[in-house]
Structure 1
Amino acid sequence: MKHIQLHKSPLFLKIIFVISVAIIFFIGGITFKHITVLKKSSAYVSNSYEVNIELERLLSCIKDAETGQRGYLLTRDKKFLRPYHNSGALIKKSYQRISELTANSRTQQSNLKKLQYHINRRLNYLSKNLYLIEQKNYKIKTLDSNFVTGQKAMDSIRYRIQSMIITQKILLKNRQKDYESTMNYTPLLIYLTLIITLILITIAFVKMNRDLILLKNTIDTLTIAIEANKLSEIVGNFGSWQLDIETFKYSFSDNEYRLLGCEPQSFEASKEEYFKFIHPDDLESVKESVKNVSINNAFIPITYRIIRKDGEVRYFKDKGQIVSFSSDKKTFIGTTRDITSEINDRITTEERNRELESNNKELSAFNYIASHDLQEPLRKIETFISRLVSKDYDNLSSSGQQYISSIQKSTNRMRVLIEDLLQFSRTNKMEKTFEEVDLNTLLENAKQELAQIIEDKKAKIENSALPILKVIPFQMQQLLINLIGNSLKYSSQDRTPIIKIDYSKVIANEEELLPETHHKYHRIIIKDNGIGFDQEYAKNIFVLFNRLHNKNEYQGTGIGLAICKKIVENHKGFIFAKGIVDKGSDFIIYLPAE
C-alpha cells in the first residue's frame, strides 16, 4: 500500500470540517453558559432586592402593630387597634414570601427561623399588654415589665432583619465575583477559538484550492488518457464496454461500434441490440455467459462469431472483470477483441501441423524401413559374401578379391549406419522417464562400454565428482558413451589420449554461451587433447549425417553427435562445442538445475 500524507488526503478536509464544527459548538456552548450565568446573576440581584424589600415590609408590619397598640393605650380608642389586627395576616404573608425567596440558602433559612421566634415573642407581649388593659385590674409594674421585654424582642427583630439583609448582600457579592471571574476569561477563550477556527478554515481553503488545481490537472491528464485509449483501441483492433451491476445499464466505446461495422454511438448500448450482431449458432452460449454475469458476478472469457453490418463474419473474444469503487459501487468492465486473424492463423497452423504430422509418419515409416527392412537383405549380402570368401576367395582374381573386400567394407558401413539410425530413432521416440541417478555410476558404465578401445589407445580419463541428477538414465549414459567415444575416435596419433571431465554449478548470466537469465545450470565439460576442429564448424558437427572428415580417414556415420544434441534437448539443456585444430576439443553440456 502506498503511503499517503495526511495533508494530501481527502480525510484532512473532513477532519478540519469536524474540528471547525466542534469549535463552533464549543463557542456556542460557552456563550450559552455565560448567558445562563448572566441570567442567574440577574435573578440573584432581583432575588436579593425582593428579599430586602420583604424584610423591610415585615419590619414595617410589626412596627404598625406596635404603633396601633400604643395609640390605643393612650386614647383608649379602638380604631387605633385596626393596624394591630391587620398586621397578623400581613406578617404571615411577608414571612412566607421571604421563606420562598431564601429557600436555597441555608444561612437565611436559619436566620428566618430565629426571626420567627422573635416575631412571635414580640406579638405575644403585645397581646398580653392588650389583655391586661382590657381587664382593668392590671398592675402598672407588670405592664411596664411587658413593655420592656417587648421592646427587647423588637430590638432582636431589627437585629435579625439587619443580619439577613447583610447576609443577602454578602451572597450577592460572592455570586457577582463568580460571574466576573467567568466573564474575565471568556472573551480571551472565544477570541482564541475564533482564531483557531479561522486558521483551520484558511488551511482548508488553501487545501481545496490546491485540490481544485490538482483536479484540473487530473482532468486534463484523464482527457489525454481517454483519447490515447481510443487511439489504442483503433490500433489494437479492440473495443471496451461497461455494465453497471446495480442498474444493468451498458455503455460501449466508439471502437466497439466500429468493430461491428457501425458508426460510433449509432444505436443504444444494450445487450439486446448487441445480440442482433451475434452469429445465430453462437447466440445461446453468449446469452448464457451474460446470464452468469447477472447471477454470479462472474465472466468467463468467451469466443464467438459476429456478423458485421456489411455481412462479414468475424471472430470476437470477450474478457471482463468487476471493479469496486470506494462507495461500494461495482461496475463490470470488459474488452472485445477481434481475433479473426488469430483464428485464421491457428487454422493455417493446424493444417500445417497435420501436414507435418503426416510427413513425420512417412519419415518414421521410411526410417523403419531403412533401419529394419533393409537389415534383412544386408544380412543376406553379408552371409553370401562370407560364404564366398570362405569357399571361393582363393579362386578369385586379385581384382575380384579387391572387389569382395570393398563390398565387405561397404556392407559393414551400411550396418553401422542402420544401427545409428535405430539409436537416433530410439532417442526421439522412447519414453522419457526421469529418475534421480548418480552420474558417477553412469560414467563408470560408459567406461566399461568403451573399455576395449580405451585399453587399445592407452587413454586416460580424469573426472571430478559428478552430481546426482534427475535424468533419463539410458540416454544420459548414451550421451557420455558417445562424447567419450568421439574423443577417442578423433585422438591424435602423436600423443596419449587424455580426456578430462569437469563439473560445476553456474548461473546463466555468468556464462557467455547461455541466455541472460538468473537460472542455474549444471555444467559438464568433456575436454580432450585430440585432433580438434576448426571453430567455424562448431554448429555443423551436431547436424545429422554431417561429417568434418573423409570416411576413409575416420570411421563414422555423422549421427553420434546429433544423438548427443537430441539427448541434451530432451533434458531441456544446451550443448556446445569448442575446438582448436591439432590441440583438442571441448564439449560443454548445460543441464537445468531445479
Structure 2
Amino acid sequence: MKPSLVYLFVGFFASILLLAGVGAYWYRTFQNWNKATRVQEHNYEILQSTENVLSLLKDIEVGQRGYIITRDSSFLAPFDHAVVALPLELHRLDSLLPDTKAQQQWANKLHVLVQKRIYYSRKSLNAALAPPHIDPHLKTIYMRRGKATMDTVRILIGNMKNQELAEMPSLNLYKVKFALRSTIALVLSFGLSLALFAGTFFKMVQELFRRLKTEKLLLRNLSELQRSHAQLDDFNFVSVHHLQEPLRKLTIFSDRLQQKHQGDLPIEVQFLVQKLSAAAVEISDLIQDLTTYTTLGKAEEQQSFSEISIPNILQKVHEEHSEEIAQRSAQIQLADDLPNVEGNPIQLHLLFTHLMSNSLKFSRADVPLHIQLSSSIVAGFEIPGVDDTDHDYTFYKVNFSDNGIGIDKKHMHVIFELFHRLNKDKELPGTGIGLAICKKIMLNHNGYIAVKSELNRGSTFSLFFPL
C-alpha cells in the first residue's frame, strides 16, 4: 500500500479513536457532573425540609402564645395545621437523610424534641385554660420547658444544616474540577482533531493531484498505445497482403515447374522444388495463424456475446473433422452435463477446433484415440494462476482430455506461448500458434486455460468459464 494511503487510513482511524475517546470522556464527565448536581439538589432538599420543620415549630409557638395572650381561637389555626403537618415533614426528612449513623441519631433526636415541643405547647394551652384554683405557675413552667426544647431544636437543626452545608464547597469544587477538565479536553481534542483534519486534508489534496497527474499520464500512454495498436494493425494488414502475394506466386510457379518439367529435372532439383513448395505452404499457414491471433476479438462479429451451448459447438467441430476422426478410429465421449456459457460463437468454435486438431495431430499410432469432455463447477481459488480479483468467484470447468502422446513436464511453462512447437517432427503440421490462440480466446472470455499431461499418457486441457 502506498504511504499516502497508509497516512489517510491512519489519520481516519486516529480521528475515529480520538472522537470515541473524547465522547467516552465527555460521557463520564457528564455522569459525574449529574451525580454532583443530584447530590447538591438532595442537600438543598434536606436543608429545605429542616427549614420547614423549624417553620412549623415556630407556627406552634406563635399560635400558642397568641392564644394565651388574646384568647382568640384564630391563633390556633396555624397551631393545628403545624401539628398535622409536622409528622409528614419529619417522614419526608427521614427519607432524604443519608443512611449514616450520625444523621440517623440526629433524626431520632429531632423526632423526640418535636414531640416534646408539641407536648409542652398543649400543656401550656391547657394550663392557660384551667380554672383559677389550679396552680397558675404551671403555664409558666410548661412555656419555659417548651422554649428550652425549641432552643434545643434550633441547635440540632443548625447542626444538621451545617453538616449539609459543609459538603457544598467540596461539591462545587468537584463540579469546577470536572468543568475545567472538560474544557481542557475539549480544547485538546479540538486541536488534535484540527491537526488531523488538516494533515488528512493535505494528504487527500496531495493524493488527488498525484492521481490527476497519473491519470493524465495514463491517458497519454493509452493514446500512444492506441496509436501503436493502429500502426501494428496497419503493419499486419500490409504485411499479410504483401507477403501472401509473393508466396502465392512462389507456390504456383513451384507447382507449374513440377507439373510441366517433372521428367526433365534432375532428382536433386525435384527434391529442392518440393522443399521450396512445402516451405511456401508453411509460411502461408504461419502468416494465416498470426493474422488470426492478432485480429482475434477485434472484428465486430467476434465482439457479440450470448449464451452458447458447448455440445452444439462440439457437434460442428466434429462434423468438420469427421474424415480425420474416421481415419484414426477416434472415439469422442461427451458428458451429459456440459454447460451453456456466455461467449462468442466464432471464438469458441475456433477454440475447440484447435483443441480437436491438437488431439488428432498428436495421437499415438498404436493406440486408438479417445477424446473425453466433462465439466464441473469450481471456486476461483482452485484455478492455477488465477488473479486475486477472481478468488471469490465461481467458474465452469470444462475438461478436454485425450490419450495422445502427451507433453513433457519441462515444456509445460511455455506451452501457451507463441511459436513454441514442442514436437519438432516436420511430418506433423503446425505453426506453434494454436494453443496461444486458445489462451487468448479464454482471456477474451474472462476465463483461464490450464493443462495437465504426461508423456505417452495423454493430456487434459481445462477451460474455466466464469458463471
Q: Give the TM-score normalised by the residue count of structure 2.
A: 0.66
| 1:536 Cα offset (Å) | 2.0
The answer to whether 1:519 aligns with 2:393 is yes
Secondary structure of 1:558's partner?
coil
Please say if residues 241 and 334 of structure 1, whose CA atoms lie closer than 8 Å, have aligned partners that are also in contact.
no
Please say if residues 534 and 581 of structure 1, whose CA atoms lie closer than 8 Å, have aligned partners that are also in contact.
yes
Please say if residues 370 and 402 of structure 2, whose CA atoms lie closer than 8 Å, have aligned partners that are also in contact.
yes
Structure number with higher helix proportion: 2
Please say if residues 27 and 193 of structure 1, whose CA atoms lie closer than 8 Å, have aligned partners that are also in contact.
no
Q: 1:405 maps to which residue?
A: 274
| 1:540 Cα offset (Å) | 1.2
Aligned counterpart for 1:13 among listed residues 32, 35, 39? 32
The superposition leaves residues 436-489 of structure 1 with CA deviations (integer Å, 9 ceiling, x where unpaired) of 222222222222222222222121222322222221221122111111221111
Q: 1:40 maps to which residue?
A: 59
Secondary structure of 2:418's partner?
coil
CA distance in structure 2 between the aligned counterparts of 1:480 and 1:5, rounded to whole angstroms: 66
Q: 1:159 maps to which residue?
A: none
The superposition leaves residues 17-59 of structure 1 with CA deviations (integer Å, 9 ceiling, x where unpaired) of 442344244334423433442343234323432452xxxxxxx
Secondary structure of 1:482's partner?
helix
Q: 1:178 maps to which residue?
A: 84
CA gap of 1:442–1:14, structure 2 versus 1, over 3 A, is farther
Please say if residues 452 and 460 of structure 2, whose CA atoms lie closer than 8 Å, have aligned partners that are also in contact.
yes
The answer to whether 1:483 aligns with 2:355 is yes
What RMSD, in angstroms, separates the aligned Cα atoms of the two structures? 4.3
Aligned counterpart for 2:324 among listed residues 453, 476, 479? 453
The answer to whether 1:439 aligns with 2:310 is yes
Please say if residues 403 and 457 of structure 2, whose CA atoms lie closer than 8 Å, have aligned partners that are also in contact.
yes
Q: 1:31 maps to which residue?
A: 50
The superposition leaves residues 183-233 of structure 1 with CA deviations (integer Å, 9 ceiling, x where unpaired) of 6535533422898x98xx99x969x89x979x99x97x999x99xx99xxx
Please say if residues 23 and 193 of structure 1, whose CA atoms lie closer than 8 Å, have aligned partners that are also in contact.
no
CA gap of 1:179–1:425, structure 2 versus 1, over 3 A, is closer
Across the two proteins, how many residue pairs are aligned to each other?
373
The answer to whether 1:416 aligns with 2:263 is no
The superposition leaves residues 243-269 of structure 1 with CA deviations (integer Å, 9 ceiling, x where unpaired) of xxxxxxxxxx7xxxxxxxxxxxxxxxx
CA distance in structure 2 between the aligned counterparts of 1:381 and 1:193, rounded to whole angstroms: 119
Please say if residues 241 and 335 of structure 1, whose CA atoms lie closer than 8 Å, have aligned partners that are also in contact.
no
Aligned counterpart for 1:473 among listed residues 345, 350, 373? 345
| 1:558 Cα offset (Å) | 0.8
The residue identity in structure 1 corresponding to 2:91 is Y
Q: 2:206 maps to which residue?
A: 337
| 1:495 Cα offset (Å) | 0.7
The superposition leaves residues 541-593 of structure 1 with CA deviations (integer Å, 9 ceiling, x where unpaired) of 21111211225142101111111111111122222222211111121222233
Q: 2:445 maps to which residue?
A: 571
Please say which of residues 426-435 and 343-352 is displaced more in the overlay: 343-352
Q: Give the TM-score normalised by the residue count of structure 1.
A: 0.53
CA distance in structure 2 between the aligned counterparts of 1:556 and 1:463, rounded to whole angstroms: 26
Please say if residues 532 and 584 of structure 1, whose CA atoms lie closer than 8 Å, have aligned partners that are also in contact.
yes
Please list every run of 5 or more consecutive structure 2 residues that lacks an aligned counterpart in the other structure: 1-15, 104-163
The residue identity in structure 2 corresponding to 1:385 is S
1:293-308 matches, cutoff 5 A: none
CA distance in structure 2 between the aligned counterparts of 1:468 and 1:417, rounded to whole angstroms: 32
Please say if residues 538 and 576 of structure 1, whose CA atoms lie closer than 8 Å, have aligned partners that are also in contact.
no
Which structure exhibits the higher relative contact order, with contacts defined as CA atoms closer than 8 Å and separated by 6 or more residues? 2
Aligned counterpart for 2:406 among listed residues 519, 522, 532? 532
Please say if residues 378 and 411 of structure 1, whose CA atoms lie closer than 8 Å, have aligned partners that are also in contact.
yes
Q: 2:141 maps to which residue?
A: none
Q: 1:368 maps to which residue?
A: 237
The answer to whether 1:191 aligns with 2:74 is no
CA gap of 1:11–1:483, structure 2 versus 1, over 3 A, is farther
Secondary structure of 1:374's partner?
helix
CA distance in structure 1 between the aligned counterparts of 2:384 and 2:286, rounded to whole angstroms: 35
Please say if residues 254 and 277 of structure 2, whose CA atoms lie closer than 8 Å, have aligned partners that are also in contact.
yes
Please say if residues 49 and 89 of structure 2, whose CA atoms lie closer than 8 Å, have aligned partners that are also in contact.
no
Secondary structure of 1:429's partner?
coil
Please say if residues 46 and 93 of structure 2, whose CA atoms lie closer than 8 Å, have aligned partners that are also in contact.
no
CA gap of 1:413–1:189, structure 2 versus 1, over 3 A, is same
Please say if residues 307 and 343 of structure 2, whose CA atoms lie closer than 8 Å, have aligned partners that are also in contact.
yes
| 1:425 Cα offset (Å) | 2.6
CA distance in structure 1 between the aligned counterparts of 2:254 and 2:181, rounded to whole angstroms: 102
The superposition leaves residues 328-359 of structure 1 with CA deviations (integer Å, 9 ceiling, x where unpaired) of xxxxx874428898888777777766665555
CA gap of 1:468–1:24, structure 2 versus 1, over 3 A, is farther
The answer to whether 1:591 aligns with 2:455 is no
Please say if residues 371 and 421 of structure 1, whose CA atoms lie closer than 8 Å, have aligned partners that are also in contact.
no
The answer to whether 1:544 aligns with 2:415 is no
| 1:533 Cα offset (Å) | 1.2
The residue identity in structure 1 corresponding to 2:65 is S
Bigger Rg, which one: 1
Please list every run of 5 or more consecutive structure 1 residues that lacks an aligned counterpart in the other structure: 53-97, 105-170, 231-239, 243-252, 254-318, 321-332
Please say if residues 36 and 174 of structure 2, whose CA atoms lie closer than 8 Å, have aligned partners that are also in contact.
no
Q: Percent identity?
A: 23
CA gap of 1:513–1:418, structure 2 versus 1, over 3 A, is closer
